[in-house]
Chains A and B, each alone.
Chain A
Amino acid sequence: MNDKNRLEVLAQFIIGEARRLGASDSDVSISTWSSVDTTVRLGEVEKLESAAEGRALTVRVFLGKVMTSASTSDFRRQSLTKLVRYTITLAKAAQPDEFVGLPDKEDLAALVPDLDLYDPITAKLSVADKVTMAKACEDAARGLDPRITNSQGASFSDSHGLTVYANSQGFVGSYTGSRCSLSCSVVAQQGDSMQTDGWYNANRKLGGLGDPQVIGRIAAERVLRRLGATRGKSQDCPVVFDPVMAAQLLGQVAGVAHGGSIYRRTSFLVDKLGEQIACPELTVLDDGLIPGGLGSRPFNGEGQASRQRTFIEDGRLNGYFLDSYAARKLGTKPNGGSQSNLYIKPGTKTPEEIIASVKNGLYLTHVSGPGFNGVTGDYSRGASGIWIENGELAYPVQEITIAGNVLEMLKSIEAIGNDLEFRSSVASPTLKIGSMMIAGA
Chain B
Amino acid sequence: MSKPITPSQYLAKSFGLTSNQLERVLGIAIGSRDKGAFADIYFQVGVTEGLVYDQGILKNPSRSDVSGAGVRTVIGDKTGYSYTDHVNVTNLAKAARNAATIAQHTGSVPPIQVGPDRAQHNLYPTAGILIGLPLPEKVDLLIRIDREARKFDPRIKNVTVSLSIQEETVVIVTSLGDLILDRRPLVRLGVSCLAEEGNRRETGSSSGGGRVDFEFFLEDERWKKHALKAAQEAIGLLSAVPAPAGEMTVVLGNGWPGVLIHEAVGHGLEGDFNRKGTSAFSKMMGEKVASPLCTIIDDGTVPGRRGSLNIDDEGVATGNTVLIEKGVLKGYLQDRTNGGLMRSGSTGNGRRESYRHVPMPRMTNTYLAGGESTPEEIIRSVKRGIYAVTFGGGQVDITNGDYTFSATSAILIEDGKLTSAVKGATLIGNGPKSLHNVSMVGNDMALDEGTGTCGKRGQSVPVGVGMPTIRIDGVTVGGTSR
Contact = CB atoms under 8 A, between A and B. Distances in A.
B245 A234 contact: yes
B30 to A, nearest CB: 16
B247 A437 contact: no
B338 to A, nearest CB: 13
Given A53-B84, A270-B201, A403 B158 contact: no
A65 to B, nearest CB: 10
B399 A376 contact: no
Contacts of A318: none
Contacts, number: 252
B475 to A, nearest CB: 10
A276 interface: no
Residue from A72, A401, A440 having most chain B Cβ neighbours under 10 A: A401
B404 interface: yes
A1 interface: no
Nearest to A195: B400
A152 B276 contact: yes
Contacts of B480: 378, 380, 403-405, 437
Interface in A33-89: 41, 44-56, 67-75, 83, 86-87
Interface in B385-426: 392-400, 402-406, 408, 423-426
Given A49-B82, A56-B85, A266-B201, A369 B393 contact: yes
B430 A399 contact: yes
B353 interface: no
Interface in A170-209: 187, 193-196
Given A47-B79, A70-B63, A196-B398, A439 B404 contact: no
A51 B397 contact: no
Nearest to B158: A264
B201 A375 contact: yes
Given A375-B202, A402-B478, A381 B85 contact: no
A87 B64 CA distance: 11
A400 interface: yes
Contacts of A97: 57, 59
B476 A45 contact: no
A150 interface: yes
A90 interface: yes
Contact of B67 (A73, A226, A370, A439): A73
Contacts of A45: 78, 102, 105-106
B201 A68 contact: no
Contact of A401 (B85, B139, B245, B394): B245
B277 A150 contact: yes
A407 interface: no
A368 interface: yes
B164 to A, nearest CB: 14
A229 B399 CA distance: 13
Interface string B85-101: 11000010011001101
A42 B276 CA distance: 10
A53 B392 CA distance: 37
A398 interface: yes
Contacts of A265: 157-158, 194, 196, 201
Contact of B245 (A70, A266, A439): A439
Given A73-B65, A439-B246, A93 B105 contact: no
Given A45-B78, A264-B194, A380 B358 contact: no
A83 B65 contact: yes
Interface residues of B, number: 85
Mostly, the B contact residues are strand
Interface of A is mostly: strand
Interface string B422-454: 011110111000000000000000000000000
A94 interface: yes
Interface residues of A, number: 76
B364 interface: no
A370 B84 contact: no
Contacts of A402: 478
A264 B55 contact: yes
A83 to B, nearest CB: 7
A90 B63 contact: yes
A439 B478 CA distance: 5
B77 interface: yes
Contacts of A131: 105
A190 to B, nearest CB: 12
Contact of A48 (B63, B81, B134): B81
B58 A380 contact: no
A71 B479 CA distance: 43
Contacts of A196: 278, 397-400
A95 interface: yes
Contacts of B135: 90, 93-94
Nearest to A231: B476
B203 interface: yes
A332 B46 CA distance: 39
B310 interface: no
Given A369-B393, A375-B202, A399-B402, A381 B65 contact: no
B473 interface: no
B62 A70 contact: yes
A441 interface: yes
Nearest to B143: A95
Given A73-B68, A150-B278, A437-B479, A399 B426 contact: no
B63 A369 contact: no
A370 B101 contact: no
Closest 3 pairs between A and B when the two form their complex, measured CB to CB: A401-B478, A382-B404, A369-B404
11 contacts: A45-B105, A48-B101, A90-B63, A234-B246, A369-B394, A370-B392, A376-B202, A380-B425, A399-B430, A437-B478, A438-B245
Given A50-B98, A194-B400, 5 more contacts: A45-B106, A70-B63, A90-B135, A380-B479, A381-B478
